[in-house]
Amino acid sequence: MNNRIDIILPAISKNEALARSIIATFAVELDPTIDELGDIKTAVSEAVTNCIVHGYPNKTDGEVEIYAEIDGNTLHIEILDNGIGIPDIPAALQPFYTTKTDEERSGMGFTVMESFMDSLKVENRECGGLKVTMEKSLERKL
């Protein structure tokens, strides 16, 4: 049986660090290097921050759902929100794209996730909001 965790957190900024820490702790089962662990933490941080900042721009009661599973040597992560979604996902996947013009945002979140993980998929949910799926394969060093 694969190991799996399911987490639902309020979409508030202080929970970004909590989500990052939970997934990093979960990934330790795969015996990642410090660099691999840093990559995973950064990708999760970017995805959760996107949910909070972009998914719920005018709401304070949203949630971030995080599902992670270890299958063999691969860590699968899904991060979802029920926010506003992204009208043009291909544009949003391009470097420097941002919906926040009044704040300092680099528009590099998806680019960072894609560079640190082995795969990245971004899709709007039928019920509203966004689903980000990421995978990272780690060779066990047992």
From first to last of its 142 residues, what are the pLDDT tens digits of the chain? 799 999 999 999 999 999 999 999 999 999 999 999 999 999 999 999 988 988 888 777 899 999 999 999 999 999 999 998 887 777 676 765 665 555 555 556 788 888 899 999 999 998 889 999 999 999 755 4
Contact (Cβ atoms closer than 8 angstroms) between residue 47 and residue 11:
no
Residues contacting 137, CB < 8 A, separation 6+:
73, 74, 75, 118
Catalytic residue among 65, 69, 78, 105: 105
Question: Would residue 65 show up in a list of annotated catalytic residues for this protein?
Answer: no
Catalytic residue among 16, 20, 36, 50: 50
User: What CATH architecture applies to the domain 3-137?
Assistant: 2-Layer Sandwich (3.30)
Nearest by Cα to 39 from 139, 98, 123, 114? 114
Question: Would residue 105 show up in a list of annotated catalytic residues for this protein?
Answer: yes
Question: Would residue 63 show up in a list of annotated catalytic residues for this protein?
Answer: no
- Confidence at residue 25, expressed as pLDDT on a 0 to 100 scale: 97
Contact (Cβ atoms closer than 8 angstroms) between residue 130 and residue 83:
yes
